[in-house]
Structure 1
């Protein structure tokens, strides 16, 4: 059964390139990004893992841990990481799960038979500190992930968790946000949004990002 937004991300214990991982314990109180790859030594995934390594500082600022998955072995991962580091000028330090028994792939519904009966599709999950799934994206094998979008969504989730706002289309850090329609008390609105707001419609009230 596929995971839906708000579901608790399944816990598991599995070997990885950095040792045995007990997933919920490993996450601790952090956010997490779990993303899968069809196999080691695949070109698009090599670029993605290199990019993830280079974005370690950005993920760290957001209290996000990253963890990849491939169905190949720990020994294969070790060789692949050397290739990634060399070809992408990277330094992969995050774990790559060795999911040879497909345990994690099946828990997270990463095997799509109409795409491949053996290889995982390229899924990505954002998981919050309460272990809830907050975002799912599944890409075709031919298309590399947009990690700027992953970071943008995490920024939106973290902002909207703390303020009664939503983020409009193409929003990025520093842009105006939308006051949620359920908030109607003008005194409460003035207190929560002292910078004011622009009511384009009664249901569409734009306000400066409240934590800036």
Structure 2
């Protein structure tokens, strides 16, 4: 089964707030279509290659934290240029070495169609070995956040969970997540954008900086 991507030619890097390209592909959990994940959050993340030390550490950590992502209504999905058979062999080694099962799907992208469609690499790139990109996609298929690391530095799973939780808290536009926010801590209110609020004598800063409880 050959991968299918809606947009692959001269596709610029995705921007926050844009609809992500739909694709179908072979994975370690069977054929998938991105449309099947509508209605829930999805984290799509790339890794440079199977059987590499940093990627192995990431997949062990993500497999151990999979239930935490699931509790937040979020699916995980990996992607790399390696073949499906390479993915399966690697997951067997991870299982035997660390005692964990990687249950989330890993996509094979040998032609780099998906990597190009998502702007992970340029159209002229010969390989995707430096990719360690992460895409936080909302239930409507819209990109809400993205991160990119070099191949030599692994992701922080706690930061992925924190970012996901923050995106979910602010999605309705009434709250903002402050610096170093963690679930359960106070959020910030969206600014009140009227002169009357700005001129209130009791609190000259409350119109743009006030807190609210995190109700989960």
In the alignment, which residue of structure 2 is the partner of 1:207? Answer: 212
Q: CA, structure 1 residues 89+175, in 2 after alignment: closer, same or farther (shift >3 Å)?
A: same
TM-score by length of 2: 0.84
Question: How many matched pairs?
Answer: 198
Counterpart CA distance in 2 for 1:21 and 1:182 is 44
Superimposed CA distance per residue, residues 89-147 of structure 1 (whole angstroms, 9 cap, x where no aligned partner):
31111111010111111111222599x73124110000000000001101011100011
* Contact 2:116-2:123 within 8 A present in 1 as well: no
Counterpart CA distance in 1 for 2:71 and 2:172 is 17
Superimposed CA distance per residue, residues 17-67 of structure 1 (whole angstroms, 9 cap, x where no aligned partner):
111111122x13110000001111111011111111111110111110100
Query: Is the partner of 2:210 in helix, strand or coil?
Result: strand
Query: Is the partner of 1:168 in helix, strand or coil?
Result: coil
TM-score by length of 1: 0.86
* Equivalence map 1:166-181=2 (5 Å): 166-181=176-191
* Contact 1:14-1:22 within 8 A present in 2 as well: yes
In the alignment, which residue of structure 1 is the partner of 2:29? Answer: 18
In the alignment, which residue of structure 2 is the partner of 1:192? Answer: none
- Unpaired segments of 5 or more residues in structure 2? 1-11, 197-202
In the alignment, which residue of structure 2 is the partner of 1:69? Answer: 79
Counterpart CA distance in 2 for 1:158 and 1:24 is 20
In the alignment, which residue of structure 2 is the partner of 1:2? Answer: 13
* Contact 2:116-2:122 within 8 A present in 1 as well: no
* Equivalence map 1:107-122=2 (5 Å): 107-111=117-121, 117-120=126-129, 121-122=131-132
Matched, 1:93 2:103: yes
In the alignment, which residue of structure 1 is the partner of 2:140? Answer: 130
- Aligned Cα RMSD in Å? 2.3
* Contact 1:32-1:65 within 8 A present in 2 as well: yes
Shift of 1:14: 1.0
* Contact 1:33-1:67 within 8 A present in 2 as well: yes
Matched, 1:158 2:168: yes
Q: CA, structure 1 residues 174+75, in 2 after alignment: closer, same or farther (shift >3 Å)?
A: same
